[in-house]
Structure 1
Amino acid sequence: MPLFLLVAFQSQAAQPHQPSSLGPINDGEVITVIAPLYSPLTIVTSPKTPRQPVPASDGSDYLKTIPGFSQIRNGGTNGDPVLRGMFGSRLKILTDGSELLGSCPSRMDAPTSYISPESYDLLTITKGPQTVLWGPGSSAGTVRFERERPRFDKPGIKANASVLTGSNGRWDENIDASLGAEQGFLRVMGNKSRSNDYQDGTNNRVPSRWDKWNGDLTLGWTPDSDTLLEITMGRGNGEARYGGRGMDGSQFKRESLGMRVEKSNIGDVLDKLEAQVYYNYANHIMDNITLRSPSSGGMSGHHGMHMAAGMAMQVDRRTIGGRVMGTWRWQDVKLESGVDTQTNTHRNMSRAIWQKDAQFNNYGAFGELSWNASEQSKVIGGARLDRSLVEKFANSKDVERSDTLPSGFARIEHTLAEMPLMLYAGIGYTERFPDYWELFSPTFGPDGGKDPFSRVNSEKTTQIDIGAQYNGTRLSSWVSAYAGRVDDFILFKYDPHNARISQADNVNANIMGAEMGFGYQLSEDWKTDASLAYSWGKNTRDNQPLPQIPPLEARWGLTYEHGDWSSTALWRLVSSQHRVAINEGNAAGKDFAASPGFGVLSANVAYKVNKNLKLSTGLDNILNKAYSEHLNRAGNNDFGYSANTSLNESGRTLWAKVNVSF
C-alpha cells in the first residue's frame, strides 16, 4: 500500500480547471506529507486522504498542511486559515459551491469551523485572483470542498468508515455510505470528533478541548448518465474551549439545505447547463461559564449579555445564494459563463430578542474563456462584474452603502515539446467589498470617529502569478510565485492597553512570495519529497511590514514502501519571524511579538490488511518540543496567561486509525 505519495506531477497539468480528466485523485489509501498538486497554480487532493500531523478536526486544520497555508491558532480547533499571509474574505471558502459564513464578530466560528474534511471527496485550491467562476473578492485564492456524485452500474452499496483514537482523549468517528442504482442514489455522511485539553512540550495543559458532530444527506436522481438532480441537507453542532479568547464557543449550530441541477452533452456547442440554490445557517453561542470558570475581567467581544456568573453572546447568520452557469465548447475554445447571487443576514440576541444588525447582498455576472492555441499552449482569461450592497440596522435607523466591483484575469500556460516542463504566467485584478468583520467589528474608524461602516473602502488587488512544473522519470518539481499591489488594504489596529478596542483603516501594500516543492524516487522502495513556502508584505503608507505574515516554512518527508507495509518521517522546519507590526492585524488576530523558529519531527507506519481494511498509527512531535506558531492569539488571563503570551502547540501525540471500506 502506498502510504505517502506526491501525486503532484500529472502530465495533464496544462488543464488546471478540468480535474475530472485526471480520473481518481487518489483512492483514500495514501497519507501525504506534502499536498498533492494538479499544477503549481491549482491544487487538487482528496480530504479523505489521511495526513500527518494527527487527522484534521476541521477545514482549517486540513488546509494548514498544504504549502502556502497557515493558521491563526487559538487552541485545539477552529483556527482561521491564512493563504500567503492573506486572511478572511480574501480567501473564498466554498462547500459544494455554497458559502457558509460564520457569525462571531471576532471569527470564533470561521467558515472552516463548520467543515468536516472527511465528509468531502475533493479539495480544489486556486491560488491568487486566477479564476472568476466562484464569486467576488477572492484575491488570495479560492478553496472548494466538494462531494462527487456516486455512480452505480447496478444496485448496490458503497461505504467507508473510520475510527481514530489518540492522546489527550482524541476520538473521531466517520461514516460515508451510499445506496444506489443507475437511476439515483442516497448518500449519508456522519462524523463525530472530540478531544480533551492537550499538553504542550513542557507538560503544561493548554485549554483546547472540543466536541463536535456533523450529519449530511444527499438524494440524487439520475434518469440518464447526462442528467443529475440533487438535494442536500445537513446539520451539525459542537463546542470548543479556547485558551486564546475571553470566551469559549458553547454552540456551533449549522443547518444546510441545497438543490443542484446539471445537464451535460446538450448539443454540439452548448455542452452543459448547471444551476444551484443553497441555504446555510449558523447559530453561535459564546460564553465564559460553560467551559471555564469566569474571572472578573468580563468578556472579550461585542454585544455581550450579563449572566449570573459571567457573560454570554448569541449571534446568527443566514446565507442564501444561487448560481446558473453554462458551458459552451468549440473546437479549441471553451466558455463558462453565468450569474450568481447571495444574500446574508446577521443578527444578535439582545434581551431575549433577535435584532438584525446587517444585511449583505451581491449580484454578479462572470465569464471565463479557455483557448487551446496549440498542442503546447493554452490561454485562459475571465472577467466578472459584481454589485454589492450592505444595510446597517442601528438605533431604528438604516444606513446603506454599495459599490460596483470589476475583476478579471489573463493567463498563458505552455508545455515545452522537448522536455516535460510546463510554464505559466498570469495577471489578475479584483476588487473586494469590505466584509462583516471589517465593517462591524471595529469600535472606531480611521480618523477616530465611531463609524467604520462608511469610511472603510473596498480593497483593490493587482497580482502577477508565475510558475513552472517539471515531470521527470524519477524527479518531479514545481514552483509558484507571485507579486502584487493592494490599494486600500484593510488593516486592523488595536489599542495596546485594551484588545477590545480596534479600528479598521485603509493602507496601501505590496505583497510577494513563493511556494516550491519536489519529489524524488530514490529507489524502488524509497522516496523523498519536500516543500518550501515564503510570504512577504509591506505597508507602504506607513513604511513598515504588514502584520500577520507567516514565516518561512519547509517540510521534508522520507518514505519507505514495500508490499502492504509503509512508513514515513516528516520534518517540519519554521523560521523565526521578526517582520512584525505590533498591535496591528485583522479581525481574528494581531502581531504582539516576534516569534522564534522551531523544528518538529513526526512519523507513522501503516499496514493494509486486505482491500477492505487499513491500519495506521503515528507519533507527532516525537521529540516533545515546546513551540508556538507565529500566527497566534495571545493566551487569555482566565487560564493564568500573562499578557501577550503565545499558546504552545501540542507536545508528543500518539494516534491510531482503523479504516474499513467496501
Structure 2
Amino acid sequence: MIRPSSASFVVLAVVSLLTIAPIASVALASAPSPEPESDDPPPSAVDLDLVLDEVLVEARRESPLTGRIDSSYLTSTPSANLSEALVLLPGISAVGRGAKSLEPVVRGQGWERVATEVGCVPVYGACPARMDPPATYIQPHAVETVEVSKGLGSLATGTDGIGGTIRIPTDYERSPQAPSSFESFSTTAYDAVRSGFRLESGIRGGGASYDLRASGAWSRFRDYDTPSGIAVPASQEEMGASFSLGFRPTSGQRVYGSLDYTHGRDVDFPSLPMDSRDTDYVVGNVGYRWDRVAEHLRQVTLEGGVAAIDHVMDNRDKANRAVLEAETPSEARTYAGRVRLGIHLDPNTQLAAGAKVDLLTRDAVRTRFLPATGQTFRDHLWPDASQLQSSLFFQVDRSLRHDWTAALGARVGVTRSEASAVDDASLGGKTIAEQYIRFYGTDAMKTDRTEGTYGAEMSLTWKPAESFRAYGGLDVATRPAAITERYFAFGPAPGGFQVGDPSLDMEQKWGVEAGVDWSRGFLDVGVSAYHQQVHDYILSTSIAQMDVNGDGISDRVRGFENVSARFQGFEAALLAGLHSRVQVPVTISFVAGENVSGDRPLPEMPPLEGTAAIRTRLGMERRLRLELGARFAGAQSRIDPQFGEDATPAWVSWRIESAYRVRSALRLEVGIENLFDAEYHEHLTRESLMKEGGLLPGSEIAAPGRAVYVVVEASY
C-alpha cells in the first residue's frame, strides 16, 4: 500500500505551478502560430472555453481542467449526484457528513451562502443537521446544463448567492429549426468498492412545435472499507424521475413546464447523531416566454415554481439507541415567482431587468424517548420559521470601443424573517424565546426581523483577440441570517448543544477579482485571483460551556456570532496539447479565510487543491481514450480550535481510466479510483460522532480504497 507523502504532493503542486506560471507570463509576448494539423473532430466550446468565474457543467466530460465538466462525469461514472461532480472544478470543495452527501463550498464559503436555483426556484435543504444540501438531490439523468457562478457572476436572473450560485435550468428546449425526432438514452454504472449500481434511462426530442424530455433512475450504494480495513457506514438508495415539456403555440412564444422528483432512503451519516431514513424531493416549474415583443423589448418571461422536501431522520442504527430513541420529521417549502424583461437599448447595449419573490417555510420537530425512564421530550428545532424575500434587479451589458465590454448590475430587496412557535417549550422549563435571551441577551427578544438587502456588480473585459481575454471587477452583496442560524431552538446537536440567534445582523460582502484567459492552438490557460471582505460574517462557534443535562459533565453549546472575515485566493487551469493525440490537463486552487475579529483562521477552509492528468486518444478514429490522473491536496494546519476541527496532512489519490466508443451510440468506460490504495481523508470531511461500523468516536473518516468502476452508455 502506498500512502500519500509530502514529497509526492510537493512534486505535483510544483509541477502544476511551474507549468502554468511561465506559460501565462509569456502569453502576451507570444505571437499566434498556426495550429498543428489534426484528424480530431473540431473541438467544442466546452473543450476550449476556459472560464473560471462563470463555469458551465454539461453532460459530457472532456475537460474538468478547463473549468467545465461535460458528459462523462455526470452520466458516465457511478456518481450519485451533482455535488460529486462540482468538487472537480477549481475553487469548489465540499463538506462531507456522509459518503455521497457533499455540501458545496465555493472559494471557502459554503452552506446557504451558495445558492441553488432549480428553474426559478431557490431550493433549501429540509434537514436541521445539514444532511441534504440541495445539489445532492440533482441526479445525473435529470441534468442537461448546470451553470455555476463564482465571484463575478450575473444579476440577470435576480439570484446571487453571497458565495456562489448553482443554477439548473429545467426547460428542455431545442432549436425551432430542429427536425422532428426522438432519441433514447441509458446508462448503467457499477462501483465495486461500494457494490454500487446506478441505472438510468430516458428520451428527449420533439416535433415542429414542442420539445419533450423524460428520464428516470435508480441507484444503490453500500458501505465501504478504507485501505486499512476500517468499515465505514455509507449505504444509501435513491430513485428519481424528471420531466420537461415545452410548446411553441406561435412563432416567438413558448409555454413550458417541468417536474423533478427524487426519493432517498436509508442514507448513512457517521458524522451525525442520526441517519436519513426517508426523503422526498419535488420541484415543479412553469413558464411563459414571448420573444420579439417590440422593437426594443426583445423578451418577456414569466416564471413560477414550488419546491417541497420532506425529510425523516432517526438513530435506529446508532450506538446510543439503547438509551435514547430519537426521530425528527422536517420539511422545507419554497414558493417562487419571477418576471424578466430583455431590452435592446441600442446595437451595443442590452438590458435585463425584472422582479423576484420567494417564500421559504421550514418546520422540524425532534422526539426523544428515554427507555429507562419512559420519558418523552419534544424539541421544536425549526419553530414554524419562514423567510419572505422580494427584490428588483437589472443588468446592463455594453460593448465599448477598442475591444472592451462592460457589465453593471444591481439588486435591491426586502427580507422578512419570522418564527411563529417561539413560545413552545424548550429545555429546562424555559420557552424557545427565553433560551434565545438566556444566551444572547435582550437583543434576542425581537425574533421577527425585516431587513433591506442589496447587491451590485461591475466588471470590465478586454478581448483584443479571440484567443485572449482579460477581465476584472468588483461586487457587493448581502445575506440575512438563515433560518437555522437565526431560529434553531436550543437542544442537542452534534458535539453538544446548539442554539440560534435572532439578533444576528446580515452579512455584507465586497470583493474584487481579476483574471486572464489565453489560448494558443495547443494550449489553454486561465488564471484568476480574488479578495473578499465580509462584514458581520455569521460564524458557527462555541458560545458556552455548561452542564446542560445535569449529568455532571460540562457540555459544549454552539451558537452563532457576527465577526469580520476576509477571503483571498487564486485559481488556475491549463490544458496543453503535447501532441495531436495527447493532452495534459492541470487545475490548482487555493483560498485562505481569516476571522479578522478573532485573529484566527476561519473554520472549514479547504487546503490548496488540484488535479493533473495525461490523456491520449488511440485508433484510426480515436475511439479509445486512456487517462492517468491524480487529485491532490496540501496539508491544512490553519484551523479554528474553537470550532472543533483538526489539522489534515497532504494527500494524493491517483486514478486510471479507459473509455472506448464502440460506435456512435455505444460507449464503454472502465476505471480505477485511488489506484495505489492510499489511506487519506479530506479536510472538510467531518469526523465520526460515535462508534459505528469500524469507526470510533472522533475518528477521521478515510476515503474509499482502490475502486474499480464500469460504465456503459447507449443511445438509440
TM-score by length of 1: 0.88
Q: Distance in 2 between matches of 1:160 and 1:609?
A: 15
In structure 2, distance between residues paired with 1:660 and 1:255 = 28
- The yes-or-no answer on 1:317 pairing with 2:332 is yes
2:210 equivalent to 1:184: yes
Q: Which amino acid aligns with 2:672?
A: L
Give matches, 1:63-142, under 5 Å. Answer: 63-128=86-151, 130-135=153-158, 138-142=161-165
Greater C-alpha radius of gyration: 2
Cα contact 2:53–2:153 (8 A) shared by 1: no
Which of 284, 300, 308 lines up with 1:257 in the alignment? Answer: 284
Aligned twin of 1:269? 296
**Aligned counterpart, 1:302:** none
Superposed displacement of residue 520, structure 1? 0.7
1:535 and 1:405 map into 2 onto residues whose CA distance is: 27
* Per-residue deviation, residues 40-76 of structure 1 (Å, max 9, x unmatched): xxxx554x43369944212211111111111111231
The match for 1:599 is: 652
Alignment pair present for 1:424 and 2:424: no
Q: 1:467 is matched with which residue: 505, 515, 526?
A: 515
Deviation at 1:243, TM superposition (A): 1.6
Aligned-residue CA RMSD in angstroms? 2.9
For each residue in 1:65-123, what CA deviation from the matched residue of structure 2 results, as whole angstroms up to 9, or x when unmatched? 11111111123111211111101121111122322211111211111121113311112
- Aligned residue runs from structure 1 range 371-450, under 5 A: 371-374=398-401, 376-393=403-420, 394-395=422-423, 399-417=447-465, 420-441=467-488, 443=490
Aligned 8 A contact 1:9 1:477 in 2: no
Quick check: 2:61–2:69 contact (8 Å CA) kept in 1?
Answer: no
Aligned equivalent of 1:617: 670
Structure 1 residue 343 and structure 2 residue 383: aligned? no
Q: How many residues end up aligned between the 2 structures?
A: 624
Deviates more, 1:118-127 or 1:545-554: 118-127
**Which of 149, 169, 173 is residue 149 of structure 1 equivalent to?**
173
In 1: Cα distance, 2:264 partner to 2:223 partner: 15
State the 1:124 CA deviation: 1.2
Find the residue that maps to 1:601 and give its secondary structure: strand
Output the CA distance in 2 between the equivalents of 1:241 and 1:461. Answer: 36
Superposed CA deviations along residues 407-459 of structure 1, whole A, max 9, x for unmatched, are: 10100000135x83210010000011111121123749xxxx99744321100
Letter in 2 for 1:553: E
- Cα–Cα, structure 1 residues 616 and 350, in superposed 2: closer, same or farther, change >3 Å? closer
Judged with a 3 Å threshold, the aligned counterparts in structure 2 of structure 1 residues 62 and 363 are, in CA distance, closer, same or farther, namely: same
Measured against aligned partners, the alpha-carbon deviations of 1:522-556 in whole angstroms (never above 9, x if no partner) come to 11111101011000011111111111110001210
Residue identity in the other structure for 1:606: A
Moved more, 492-501 or 192-201: 492-501
- Return the alpha-carbon distance in structure 2 between the equivalents of residues 213 and 464 of structure 1: 42
Give SS of 1:61's match. Answer: helix
- State the secondary structure of the residue aligned to 1:263: strand
SS of 1:578's partner is: coil
User: In the alignment, which of 630, 633, 654 is matched to residue 708 of structure 2?
Assistant: 654
Q: Structure 2 vs 1, CA of residues 314 and 29 (structure 1 numbering), >3 Å: closer, same or farther?
A: closer
Matched, 1:361 2:388: yes
CA distance in 2, matches of 1:402, 1:465: 31
In 2, Cα distance between equivalents of 1:349 and 1:332: 55
Contact preservation (8 Å) 2:678, 2:705 = yes
CA distance in 2, matches of 1:143, 1:500: 34
- The 3 A distance-change label for structure 1 pair 196 and 169 is same
Q: 2:565 is matched with which residue?
A: 509
2:529 counterpart of 1:529? no
- State whether residues 415 and 453 of structure 2, in contact with CA within 8 Å, keep that contact through their aligned partners in structure 1: yes
The CA deviation string for residues 599-623 of structure 1, in whole angstroms up to 9 with x for no partner, is 0100100110111111111100000
**Contact 1:538–1:546 (Cα < 8 Å) also in 2:** yes
Q: Offset of 1:269 from its aligned partner?
A: 1.1
Q: Gapped runs of 5+ residues in structure 2?
A: 1-38, 368-377, 425-432, 434-445, 492-496, 546-552
Give the C-alpha shift of residue 134 in structure 1: 3.8
Q: How does 1:292-303 map to 2 (within 5 A)?
A: 292=318, 294-296=320-322, 298=324
Kept in 2, the 8 Å contact 1:339–1:364? The answer is yes
Partner of 1:490: 538
Aligned residues with identical type, % of pairs: 19
Whichever structure has more helix as a proportion of its residues is 2
Question: Do the aligned partners of residues 139 and 350 (structure 1) sit closer, same or farther apart at CA in structure 2, a change above 3 Å counting?
Answer: closer
Give 1:250 shift.
0.7
> 1:242 aligned to 2:269?
yes
Once the 2 structures are TM-superposed, how far is the Cα of residue 263 of structure 1 from its aligned partner? 1.7
The whole-number CA distance in structure 1 between the counterparts of 2:516 and 2:379 is: 56
The one-letter code of the counterpart of 1:113 is T
Match of 2:639 among 557, 580, 605: 580
CA gap of 1:119–1:128, structure 2 versus 1, over 3 A, is same
Matches within 5 A, 1:272-287: 272-287=299-314
2:397–2:408 CA contact under 8 A, matched in 1:
yes
Instruction: Spell out, residue by residue over 1:273-302, the C-alpha distance to the aligned partner (whole angstroms, 9 max, x if none).
Output: 11110010000000111x55644564xxxx
Aligned counterparts of 2:49 and 2:154: Cα–Cα separation in 1: 21
Counterpart in 1 of 2:82? 59
- 1:457 corresponds to 2:505: yes
1:467–1:6 Cα change, 3 Å: farther
Contact 1:31 1:51 in 2 (8 A): no
- Shift of the 499–170 alpha-carbon distance from structure 1 to 2, 3 Å rule, reads farther
Cα offsets for 1:254-285 (capped at 9, x unmatched): 12222011122333211111111001000000
Question: Is the Cα contact below 8 Å between 1:54 and 1:620 reproduced in 2?
Answer: no
C-alpha distance 315-531 of structure 1, shift in aligned 2 (>3 A): same
Residue of structure 2 in register with 1:327 after alignment: 342
Secondary structure of the 1:112 match is helix
8 Å contact from structure 1 (residues 33, 51) kept in 2: no
Q: Is 1:166 the counterpart of 2:191 in the alignment?
A: yes
Shift of the 459–56 alpha-carbon distance from structure 1 to 2, 3 Å rule, reads same
Instruction: Pick one of 233, 247, 250 that aligns with 1:221.
Output: 247
Measured in 2, the distance between the counterparts of 1:209 and 1:172 equals 13
Q: 1:517 to 1:350 in 2, by over 3 A?
A: closer
The 3-state SS of whatever aligns with 1:72 is strand
Secondary structure at the aligned position of 1:49 is classed as: helix
Aligned mates of 1:276, 1:339 — CA distance in 2: 11
* Partner of residue 233, structure 1: 259
| Deviation of 1:643 (Å) | 3.9
Return the alpha-carbon distance in structure 2 between the equivalents of residues 2 and 118 of structure 1.
28
